Amino acid sequence: MISEQDVYAALQGVAGPDGKTPLPETGAIAGVTLRGDKIYLSLSVAPEQAAALEGMRLAAEQTLRRLPGVASVLVNLTAQKPASAPPPRRPGPSTPPRSLAVPGVERIIAVASGKGGVGKSTTAVNLALGLASLGWRIGILDLDIYGPSLPRLLHIHEQPSVVDRRIQPLEAFGVKAMSIGFMLDEEEPVVWRGPMVMGAVQQMLRDVAWGELDCLVVDMPPGTGDAQLTLAQNVALAGAVIVSTPQDLALIDARRGIAMFNKVNVPVLGVVENMSYFLCPQCGTRSDIFAHGGARHEAEKLGVPFLGEVPLALDIRAHSDEGEPIIVAAPESVYAAAYRGIAAKVQAALEGAPVRPAPKIVIE
């Protein structure tokens, strides 16, 4: 069993930020997390040093991989300002462009929700596959560090490889995919503090070899915490899609999500009403379990586009659990058509074309 002492002892052979002092003696180690045969290490450095210290990060990662019994290692750099630094100015019209770009990726969009349990990840995956069906080269990044869903939703149960110091994304249904869940057992919890979360977010954007993509769809964690702000404040997002259910409680949190993106000048591409109603698979009776139309009304009130509604349907849930999203498993179904309609509106918005109202899909 690997211990924290083993980690610190191994890192004595790695030079710290000054190029000579052993890393454990520099105070740069912000956190070590051990999960069986996996090691997660966060290194805290000054923002202006982050790029120059990439070699130190790689040296630490390679050193830890050589420890007996280690299966995988993730080392991230967390660039933090000194405590005495003034607070960052709130982004506004004159704010400079965000600094972190992903080579080869033309657009990055976030799929977000104010709270969990609204079907955000299922929506993100089917949106990504819908955009791919429209001819775009698509990647999907699962940034839900504490509850990654992509391994189950895309039926991927292997670890990504590293080639020339770049993490190679895995692929499913013609879409490139990356998730912290690919490096963890499904039932293994992630117990990380904020700096490690923010560092992991930056690393999965910076160190993954995405190649040429028309759009990278980012499945955000629920809420408006560290991961969301790290992405929104540091990445040139082309827009955000907000997922909500119709009831008032979910809409309150959806408003917070919209407000957060407005504050950091990220365009809200629109709102999706998920679990819009329930259709009984036996009798075909429709029931508005969570009320109906709340997300549409909220979008109209806030002046953002309404992208469409998706029902609470057994087929969507079952195929998602089996790792075969509905848009792939039943491409001719009305459920797949609903997701493709949402994808078409998102594509049109990203291309700057006028968004036409989608025809109402009647599910019988």
Band of residue 125 on the pLDDT scale cut at 50, 70, 90: very high
pLDDT tens digit sequence for 283-340: 766 676 666 666 777 777 778 888 988 888 888 889 988 999 999 999 999 889 999 9
Most confident of 14-18, 99-103, 227-231: 14-18
Evaluate if residue 139 carries a pLDDT over 70: yes
HEC states along the chain?
CCCHHHHHHHHCCCECCCCCCEHHHCCCEEEEEEECCEEEEEEEECHHHCCCCHHHHHHHHHHHHCCCCCCEEEEEEEECCCCCCCCCCCCCCCCCCCCECCCCECCEEEEECCCCCCCHHHHHHHHHHHHHHCCCCEEEEECCCCCCCHHHHCCCCCCCCEECCEECCEEECCEEEEEHHHHCCCCCCCCCCHHHHHHHHHHHHHCECCCCECEEEEECCCCCCHHHHHHHHHECCCEEEEEECCCHHHHHHHHHHHHHHHHCCCCEEEEEEEEEEEECCCCCCEECECECCHHHHHHHHHCCCEEEEEEECHHHHHHHHCCCCHHHHCCCCHHHHHHHHHHHHHHHHHCCCCCCCCCCCCCC
Q: Which residue has the tokens 């630094």?
A: 85
Position 225 pLDDT exceeds 80 = no
Looking at per-residue pLDDT, the higher value among 210 and 275 belongs to 210
Which residues lie across from 76 on neighbouring strands?
42
The arithmetic mean of pLDDT across residues 38-67, rounded, is 84
Is the CA virtual torsion 250, 339, 155, 111 positive or negative? negative
Q: What mean pLDDT is reported for the chain? A: 78
Tell which residue, 279, 363, 362, has the closest CA to residue 317.
279
More confident residue, 290 or 22: 22
Q: How confident is the model at residue 101 (pLDDT cuts 50, 70, 90)?
A: low
The reported pLDDT for the residue numbered 348 is 92
Q: How confident is the model at residue 185 (pLDDT cuts 50, 70, 90)?
A: low
Q: In the prediction, which pLDDT does 198 show?
A: 63
Question: 114: closest CA among 248, 306, 288, 217?
Answer: 248
Greater pLDDT, 191 or 277? 277
Query: CA-to-CA distance for 249 and 29, rounded, in angstroms?
Result: 40
Encoding tokens for residue 295? 């997300």
**Helices 226-234 and 248-263 sit at what angle, rounded to 10 degrees?**
40
Confidence of residue 210 (pLDDT cuts 50, 70, 90): very high
In a 13 Å sphere around the CA of 313, the CA atoms on its Cβ side amount to 20
- In this predicted structure, the answer to whether residue 146 has a pLDDT above a threshold of 50 is yes
pLDDT at position 144 is: 77
Could you tell me if 150 and 350 are in contact, meaning their C-beta atoms sit under 8 angstroms apart?
no
* pTM score: 0.69
- The pLDDT of 10-32, averaged and rounded, is 89
What torsion do the CA atoms of 334, 340, 344, 349 make, to the nearest 10 degrees? Answer: 110
- Asked which of 41-45, 216-220, 352-356, 357-361 is least confident by mean pLDDT, the reply is 357-361
Condensed to tens digits (0 to 9), the pLDDT of residues 240-256 reads 999 888 765 556 667 77
